[in-house]
Amino acid sequence: MSRTHSYNILSIVTVIITVTMFFSCNDNFNQVQKIGISENEPIGIAENINLKYTDSGRVTANLLSAKMLDYSNRDFAFNEFTGGITLYVFDKENKKSTIVSDYAIVYDRTNLIDLQGHVVITTHDGNVLKTEQLYYDQKREWLFTNVPVSFTTKQDVINGNGFDSNSKFTNAEVLEVTGIISLDE
């Protein structure tokens, strides 16, 4: 057998082994991608967010945040807004309400938003809710907390130890009221 013929067989064997290794590794490509990513680390980081939500061409909300960490690589996926949020919400008549908090976390599976630290909601008609923690159930469009709150309307400042309301504040209720409330006789 000549040397040229043995080199050709060696080259073919090398190519076959290389191709076999490539395809056998390809099945584990997703696992290989995860090697450098710890489940405790975010899969993505976004800074200086200015996100606009639209419905039929009309802006319905505008989210601003300094920093968001994406933990969608976890079994119970969530996004964490460590730089706080400012959210402008526009109703059908383009009236603006504002939500501000120092920190927020959005859970994908439950559609629950947890706002924390100097949470302030100012409605388009001047009502102001202040608390240290507030939850928003996106499915039910419901706000609630069981920590102290201050709810200011045009007539009253109502303090209490909890709050329950729909997202439009049409049936807002301060729980365990501790403030002074004006009543019409």
pTM: 0.74
| Three-state SS at 4 | helix
What's the rounded Cα separation, in Å, for the pair 70 and 103?
Answer: 14
pLDDT value of residue 16: 60
The amino acid that residue 42 corresponds to is P
State how far Cα 36 lies from the chain centre: 24
Q: Any idea what DSSP says for residue 11?
A: H
Q: What percent of the chain clears pLDDT 70, i.e. is strictly above it?
A: 75
pLDDT in tens, 19-58: 555 555 544 555 545 555 566 789 999 999 998 989 888 9
| Three-state SS at 13 | helix
